Structure 1
Amino acid sequence: MISHQSIQHVSLSVTNLEMAKHFYENILCLKEIERPPFDSDGAWYEIGSQQIHLIVDENSQTLRKNHDLNSREGHLALRINDYRSALDWLVQHHIEYREDVNGVSGFDQIYFNDPDGNLIELNIMSNKSR
């Protein structure tokens, strides 16, 4: 049996590290943390007690060819504190998004892509659940 403690990190493939770092630092507002000197390019970010690892791999099989905002695709979901502020921030930065408000999940959700098409969800408990 495997006894779980928590998710430690999620890794995402990217093709252009500078473009990805700009997005994760300036759009998602994540703090970069030290990364060991691997023989490949990448960046690590802290989010609570977990991490997001960006790994440069232009031939990654996980890069999505279709960048539709389809919540059935694999995605990274981040819990947020203020839905309206997050939505306004995305609009201000010209990020294309799709909302699912008061959905069956119980979360109000905003979906959008990073520059490489990695699907990201921001969510908060919906009004009907609060």
Structure 2
Amino acid sequence: MITYKCLHHVSLTVIDLEKAKEFYSVILCLKEIPRPAFDFPGAWYEIEGQQLHLIVEPSSQTIRQDKRLSSREGHFALRVANYYDTLEWLKQNEVEVLEKPNGKSGFAQIFCADPDGNLIELNVDQKEL
């Protein structure tokens, strides 16, 4: 049996690190943290005790070719404080979104993608709308 303490980090591959860093730092407002001096470029972010790791890998097989937003493809989810404030911020910053405020999951969801097409879900409990 495995006993878990928490989700430690999610790693995503990106092609253009500067575009990715602008998206995650400026648009998603994540805090960049120090990263070990690996022999490949990347960036790390802290999210309430967990981490997001960006890894530059131009030949990655995981970067989606079809950039359409979909809630059914692989993604990670971040819980946000306010659905409508988050939605307004993303729209002000011209981020394409897929809104799902009334899904069967019980979460009010907003899907968006980073510049490389990695999908991100931002959600709140529907009871908090």
Question: What's the TM-score once normalised by structure 1's chain length?
Answer: 0.96
Q: Which residue does 2:35 correspond to in 1?
A: 35
Please identify runs of 4+ aligned residues in structure 1 that moved more than 6 A: none
- Alignment partners' CA distance in 1, 2:20 and 2:10: 15
Q: Which residue does 1:51 correspond to in 2?
A: 51
Q: Which residue does 1:78 correspond to in 2?
A: 78
Q: Which residue does 1:112 correspond to in 2?
A: 112
2:5 is the alignment partner of 1:5: yes
2:66 is the alignment partner of 1:66: yes
> For this pair of structures, how many residues does the alignment match?
129
Percent identical across equivalent pairs?
57
- Alignment partners' CA distance in 2, 1:3 and 1:63: 31
1:67: Cα distance to partner?
1.1
* RMSD over equivalenced CA pairs, Å: 1.1
Question: What's the TM-score once normalised by structure 2's chain length?
Answer: 0.96
Structure 1 unaligned regions, length at least 5? none
- Alignment partners' CA distance in 2, 1:67 and 1:103: 22
1:119: Cα distance to partner?
0.4
